[in-house]
Amino acid sequence: MLILVICRPAVGGDQAEFRRLVGGEMAALRELKTAGVLTGAWSPGRPGAVLMLDVPGEGEAARVADGLPLAQGGLITTEIIPLHPLDL
């Protein structure tokens, strides 16, 4: 199942801690890409990210998103959006 994950900076997040964890966040994303879980990642041109996951369901997407270093540090919020194909 394809799941869109929108990552936004948490209000009031510690920017120094955010910068400290960004390297680990990128490493975690590379690992997810290598494993075939992360199929795409985009920057909105400001802090945050949009991720495309290929996972069995929403629960797994939430587990993956919650496991990211910035989420574990309380520095981002994530919105999980399951995508369903349109019958055109």
CB distance 18 to 70 below 8 Å:
yes
Please state, in angstroms and rounded to a whole number, the distance separating the CA atoms of residues 14 and 75. Answer: 7
> How large is the greatest C-alpha to C-alpha distance in the chain, in angstroms?
47
Domain limits, the chain: 2-82
CA-based nearest residue to 7, from 41, 35, 46, 48: 48
Position 5 scores a pLDDT of 98
Q: How far apart are the first and last CA of the chain?
A: 19
Task: Please determine, looking at this structure, whether the domain spanning 2-82 carries the CATH number 3.40.630.10.
Answer: no
Q: State residue 24's pLDDT score.
A: 96
Mean pLDDT along residues 9-24: 92
pTM: 0.91
Which pLDDT tens digit goes with each residue over 26-78? 999 999 999 999 999 999 988 899 999 999 999 999 999 999 999 999 999 99
